Amino acid sequence: MPKGYRSETGYSTVVKSGGRSYKEIAEEMTAIGFKMKHSAARNILIEAMKKFAVNVCELYDMDGSDIDRIAADPRFQDCIASYLEEESMI
C-alpha cells in the first residue's frame, strides 16, 4: 500500500454523513433523466471542485498548477462541503 492520500495516486473523495456513493448518485441522476455512470458522477464532482479550487487559489495567491491535485484532495472537498453546509449556500 502506498503511503499518503488515495487522492494522490488515484481518485478518492469524501462522503459526508448522509451523502451517497458515486454509484447511488449515478442511479439517482439516471432516474431523473440524466443517464450517467458512477465515473461520470465522479468526474462532474471533481470538475465542480476545480471551480472552487481555482477561486481559493486566486484568493491566497497560490500557484494554479496544483488545481487538479487540490480539487481531488479529500481534505479540500471536506472543507468545501462543511462550508457549504454551515453557510447553507446551496
Partner 1 sequence: MSEALQTYFTRVGRYPLLTREEEVELAKKIESGDRHAKDRMIQSNLRLAISVAKKYQSKGCSLEDLIQESNMGLIKAVDRFDWRRGFKFSTYAYWWIKQSVRTHVASQASDIKLPAHTRNLLYKMNVMIKEYEDEFGQKPSYEEVSVALGIPPSTLMSMIKCSSQTSLDANIKDRSGGSGRKIAEVVADNRSPNVEDLLDSVKIKGVMRKALTSLTCREENIIRLRFGIGESTPDDTDNFKISNSELNKIKKDSK
**Residues at the site binding partner 1, with contacts judged by CB under 8 A:** 13-20, 22, 24-25, 28-29, 32-37, 40-41, 44-45, 47-48, 51-52, 54-56, 58-59, 80-81, 83-85, 87, 89-90
Nearer to partner 1, 3 or 30 (CB): 30
Q: Least Å distance between CB 26 and partner 1?
A: 9
Query: What does the H/E/C string look like for the chain?
Result: CCCCCHHHHCCCCCCCCCCCCHHHHHHHHHHCCCCCCHHHHHHHHHHHHHHHHHHHHHHCCCCHHHHHHHHHCHHHHHHHHHHHHHCCCC
Nearer to partner 1, 1 or 32 (CB): 32
Nearer to partner 1, 51 or 69 (CB): 51
Q: Least Å distance between CB 16 and partner 1?
A: 4
Q: Least Å distance between CB 1 and partner 1?
A: 25
| Residue of 17, 78, 18 whose CA lies nearest to 45 | 78
